[in-house]
Amino acid sequence: MIDVLRMIENGDRTNLPGVQSTGKGGGVIPVCERLSEAELSEMLRQFRTGAATRQQLADQYGVSLSTMKRLLRRHREH
């Protein structure tokens, strides 16, 4: 406890909690490198036809829901 108080007193913020991963992703490998063009096309087809929800696709492709939403926004038809 004394160590924690000293850290606070000294402004040491190294042990503060930060953004936590859901653990679904592949770590440092970007999602665009984890999904092939064929997988991306199939994912978009399933979503556009209503065959799968965002959450179902996230589970199927092993990415977080926020990543799935970002992918769908990025490839939205204008």
pLDDT value of position 12 = 65
pLDDT value of position 10 = 73
Q: What is the residue-level pLDDT of the chain in tens, covering all 78 positions?
A: 777 677 667 766 565 554 444 555 555 667 767 788 899 999 999 999 999 999 999 999 888 899 899 989 988 853
pLDDT value of position 78 = 38
**Minimal CA–CA distance to 59: which of 46, 73, 48?**
46
pLDDT value of position 20 = 46
> From CA 34, how far away is CA 31, in angstroms rounded?
5
**Minimal CA–CA distance to 40: which of 61, 18, 10?**
61
Give the residue extent of every domain in the chain.
36-78
